[in-house]
Amino acid sequence: MVGLLIPPHYVAVKPDPNDMNIASIAWGVSMGVCIFTAAKGARQTINSWKRGRKMNPYVILLWMEWSSSTIMSAMVWSYLRGYIEPGFIFFFMVVLLWSIQIQALIQVIINRIAILMVNRASAKKLKIVAFIIMLCINISVFCVWVPARLQINKTWVSVNNIWDRIEKVIFLLVDAGLNLYFIYLVRTRLIANGLTKYGRLFRFNLGMIGLSMTMDILLIAMMSLPNDIVYLQFHPLAYLVKLHIEMNMAELITKVVKASNQTGYPDYSGSRSQPTGNKSAASRAQTTNSKHMRSVFPDGHVTFVQGGGDDIEMPNRDHGGIQKTTTTQVVVKSQSGYDEQDLNSESSSTRHLKREPFAL
CATH number of 131's domain: 1.20.1070
In this structure, are 176 and 245 located in the same domain? yes
Looking at the structure, do residues 32 and 128 belong to the same domain, yes or no? yes
Q: Exposure pattern of 26-52 as b/e (b: 16+ CB <10 Å)?
A: bbeebbebbeebeebbeebbebbeeeb
Q: What is the pTM of this model?
A: 0.71
Digitized pLDDT (tens) for each residue of the chain, 360 residues in all? 466 778 888 888 788 888 888 888 999 999 999 999 999 999 988 888 887 767 788 889 999 999 999 999 999 999 988 888 888 999 999 999 999 999 999 999 998 888 778 788 888 999 999 999 999 999 999 999 999 999 888 899 899 989 988 999 999 999 989 988 888 888 887 777 766 777 777 788 888 888 888 888 888 888 887 777 888 899 999 999 999 998 888 887 777 766 655 543 333 333 333 444 444 444 444 444 444 433 333 333 333 344 444 444 444 444 333 343 434 344 444 444 444 444 344 333 333 333 333 344
User: For residue 4, is it within any domain?
Assistant: no
From the list 140, 172, 157, the residue with the least C-alpha distance to 7 is 157
How many distinct structural domains can be found in the chain? 2
Residue 273 lies in a domain: no
Residue 54's φ and ψ, nearest 5 degrees, are -160, 160
- Asked whether residue 289 falls in the same domain as residue 353, the answer is yes
Does residue 5 form part of some domain?
no
Asked whether residue 350 is domain-assigned, the answer is yes
**Within this chain, do residues 131 and 208 fall inside the same structural domain, yes or no?**
yes
Q: Do 297 and 167 belong to one domain?
A: no
Tally Cβ neighbours within 10 Å of residue 320: 12
Last residue of a domain, one of 209, 225, 259: 259
Residues 345 and 254 in one domain: no
| 296 within a domain of the structure (yes/no) | yes
Indicate whether 229 and 317 sit together in one domain: no
> Do 230 and 295 belong to one domain?
no
Q: How far apart are CA 23 and CA 25, in angstroms?
A: 5
Residue 241 and residue 317 in one domain: no
**Does residue 3 belong to any structural domain of this protein?**
no
Domain that holds residue 124: 17-259
